[in-house]
Structure 1
């Protein structure tokens, strides 16, 4: 009985060395990129690539959220990129408002007389919404002048939407492919609404100029890109640690049990719907935080970012990396994101075949789809399954009994514990 007691006294990181390894690797990566950047180092890494790396870290964070809800709980959501985009919209409203306010105040100051608050507000509204034929500030922009309030909304709006949707879906016990279709329908409906000019978010034009931080007009993008890279790395580290802690305890055991046999867990007296609702809301908030860090680095956001295909890509990243493995989700998102940036940048030479020419900008999605099909058919554990081989984790002898409905998760390891 002593070894279990001794193990219980060990710290979380001591009991989960893979988490510590990931955090140390992330810290080392952050330091290396900083030293190699143009702002603080030798200039080996360009500012544009630092932004690409920062955005990739944000995508890794939303992939972690997807892995928690899908890989561990078995809920295939095809709408989490909607929460990601909503987080970007909320912080983008403040960025665009505050930056426009600086421009308007400077322009009105040239008139000789001090501008009134009403004139400043009217000037801001005209500058922002003139492109959609309006000069009035919508009600949803009432708090755009306040960074703290918009940061709260960046979490509250996606979280509230996820809570309401999840409560309606889970109380009706919608599961499986039907739930996936519903989440996709929610995303499509939200995207179609935001495409309208009267949505209050500039319709198809979206929000732009988000890379210009208010009050820091004289600060170079070299510095700003590194700052956001640091923030993205910190968010990923905290997110990884938090999710790893969630799945390592009793809560993690319950959600894995829900994934494998929901009816039995409900029979044992657990509130299955409550667990699902909590996870759905939590992962939506994590996705929103990732989006709030992503779009200031991207510089622009529009309703196309909410297209259902974006959430499908997210599922592909997690599947390629390995469901039910947090490091697998990070690897999948980082690999596909960076490879996608390379193939679509036009730097990859085309391949002439005589009768046709393969332009990778056009064929990248075909290659990604083929990779997803290949992983699904031949390597359901994804890239993360390779680490199982290195660790000597083999499939247990279950005497022919099935491991459960989700062969892509870590059920082999769970069956041995």
Structure 2
């Protein structure tokens, strides 16, 4: 008799319970709730951290479970941010323009409003016309759909070209990194239609909610980020607990054998690559409104490398490991680079953590790879291995009378 999904995946209920408790505690202690123990800026930091945990889950699915080291998943994360950022910036600018033109002697026409919006948004790059990519910027529904569709379609096309050519290993990693670099370089251009190096700004201001304080809005995004992370964890566990997940893990362990058994390996790779790109896009769409700005530098290849480091430190092949790795490294990064960590005087030299943090992160990655390949998640494995097997007297082998639970404990 097959056990239920939650019985086979106890980490899901544990994770969702802890996430709900964490969200409730932050809500009660936040300024937006009235207690004020946790500042609004730190609530935003925690909300952004939850989004990074979600994209780390996507990275773990493609790398930890499927064995594909993608160095381009932060590009999908950034594209999701750009898609929602276009709507936020358009509608916010429209509110400003309409308020300004309302004082004119004659009421403005719709075309005059659109022209004024274009001048406000694209004047910084010497233009006043909307590029084609902004065709649906005034529609929240369409832009939300594009948050998933744009990263998904890009991953589908790129993955189809790469996997059908049977590019694997380090060569595939280099290709994904090249894709990210090409996209970032394109977005740096002023004629890309996305304001070049200036990027999109003012994303923390929700249109029509000017009277709502940021303390309240930050809590809304925290709730949305926590919900997305919980659903993402649930989806990842569900996908990997079935036949599809078994095939994916088989591809990671021995691709040639899985292919010999008759499975279309390329289709499975393409499916998980596209799925994780969509998850990354959703995470980016929730992250950048909390950050307030997005520019092409966010899509630089180094960001995807950091993502791989988070998953490696947390423990790849374990969804909770990816979450722990992303959360720990992200919060420590904010602490060190924010000037909160005290300088370390050595007499002959003073270590300033703002300058040394990346070196510490790199050393941590090397040490984990050499001495703790299972990462932080390996600690959970050690604890589980010490527990007695819960087999209720069932046979431990294919033959009747195989080693039973009582014998296993002796």
Q: SS where residue 261 of structure 1 aligns?
A: helix
Stretches of structure 1 that go unaligned for 5 or more consecutive residues are 395-417
Q: Does 1:31 align with 2:24?
A: yes
Q: SS where residue 32 of structure 2 aligns?
A: coil
Aligned residues: 387
Aligned with residue 322 of structure 1, among 315, 319, 327: 315
Q: SS where residue 213 of structure 1 aligns?
A: coil
Distance in 2, Cα, partners of 1:390 & 1:132 = 57
Q: Does 1:253 align with 2:246?
A: yes
8 Å CA contact 1:317, 1:332 repeated in 2: yes
8 Å CA contact 1:34, 1:41 repeated in 2: no
Which structure 2 residues correspond to residues 159-174 of structure 1 after superposition, within 5 A?
Answer: 159-174=152-167
Q: Does 1:385 align with 2:378?
A: yes
Q: SS where residue 42 of structure 1 aligns?
A: coil
Q: Does 1:185 align with 2:185?
A: no
Q: Does 1:222 align with 2:182?
A: no
- The equivalent residue for 2:100 is 107
Distance in 2, Cα, partners of 1:74 & 1:351 = 39
- The equivalent residue for 1:242 is 235
- The equivalent residue for 2:58 is 65
Q: Does 1:91 align with 2:100?
A: no
> TM-score scaled to structure 1, two decimals?
0.92
Q: SS where residue 201 of structure 1 aligns?
A: coil
Give the Å deviation of 1:207. 0.2
Misfit runs of 4+, over 2 Å: 352-356
Q: Does 1:47 align with 2:40?
A: yes
Give the Å deviation of 1:279. 0.4
Q: SS where residue 43 of structure 1 aligns?
A: coil
Aligned with residue 331 of structure 1, among 324, 331, 334: 324
- The equivalent residue for 1:20 is 13
Encode CA deviations 1:11-57: one digit per residue, 9 max, x unaligned. Answer: 31133211100000000101010000111141111100000000000
8 Å CA contact 1:208, 1:300 repeated in 2: yes
Q: Does 1:262 align with 2:255?
A: yes
8 Å CA contact 1:155, 1:288 repeated in 2: yes
Give the Å deviation of 1:198. 0.6
Distance in 2, Cα, partners of 1:309 & 1:193 = 17
Stretches of structure 2 that go unaligned for 5 or more consecutive residues are 388-410
Aligned with residue 333 of structure 2, among 330, 337, 340: 340
> TM-score scaled to structure 2, two decimals?
0.93
